[in-house]
Amino acid sequence: MRKVFPGQEIAIYTEEPPADLVCQFQDGSLTYGMNQCLRNRTRVPLNFTRFALAGFKTFESLICDRPAGFGATGVEWVFFNGEGIWLEGEAKGWFKPWARETIRKCHRILCQYLEAFSSLNPVPLYRLCTLVFAPTFSRRKLRLFTLHGSRPMTYRGGILRVPGKWQVRDFRSGKPPAVSYREGATIVSTEIGPLSVGCLLFEPGRWQAF
């Protein structure tokens, strides 16, 4: 936030990110990265600017000036990147029910773990297996992975091996992941649906198997 007058602040943003050098003088921008990913059927919908310039906040605009024709996919991709979403129009008239529910669910997670999502050292992409990719967001002792199934098929099985003992929660599915502990690491197995998004939170503490 930029100081304008004593006791007042204002956010400076533009439509589309400027050149990298100029980003230091702004707070953020709207962006159409996920809009283009939807159009081009991108295998892994990653907005690299969001990770390369983590202090520069990007807000994805999936559609402008008309009722949203997209479903939940674009919203999940915004969440996959840990970004904000730019919205306009009346909720019931412009957005399908499943899109509204996905926006609410993703927003709750982003707000609950704002500290992790706003960290300045996110890692843009791990390839967990041939089908699943994941950025990671860390702050203090929390590690949060958003997951993306990159192909039109379901993946079931082992997905992450993190050194140490961790409690693991799966936020997007609402189901507890299968967790085991061996050779000094916590191993997680879960299910990611075709072209869908997941979210795993690793918290330190007493290790617990589900």
pLDDT of 206 reads 52
Asked if residue 93 and residue 142 are part of one domain, the reply reads no
Residues 53, 144, single domain; the answer is: no
105 & 176 share domain:
no
In a domain, residue 96? The reply is yes
Last residue of a domain, one of 112, 140, 162: 112
- What are 19-61's pLDDT values in tens digits? 999 999 999 999 999 988 888 878 899 999 999 999 999 999 9
Phi, psi of 109 (to 5 degrees): -70, -45
Closest CA to 196 of 69, 105, 84, 95: 105
Which tokens in the block code for residue 52? 């390369």
- The tokens for 171 are 């936020």
- pLDDT < 50: residue spans in the chain: 207-210
Supply the pTM of this predicted model: 0.88
- The residue out of 83, 112, 141 marking a domain boundary is 112
Residue 199 belongs to a domain:
yes
* Number of domains composing the chain: 2
Contact in structure between 158 and 166 (CB atoms under 8 Å)? no
Q: Are residues 98 and 198 part of one domain? A: no
Residue 118 counted as domain residue: no
Provide the sign of the torsion angle of the four alpha carbons 25, 27, 32, 38, taken in this order: positive
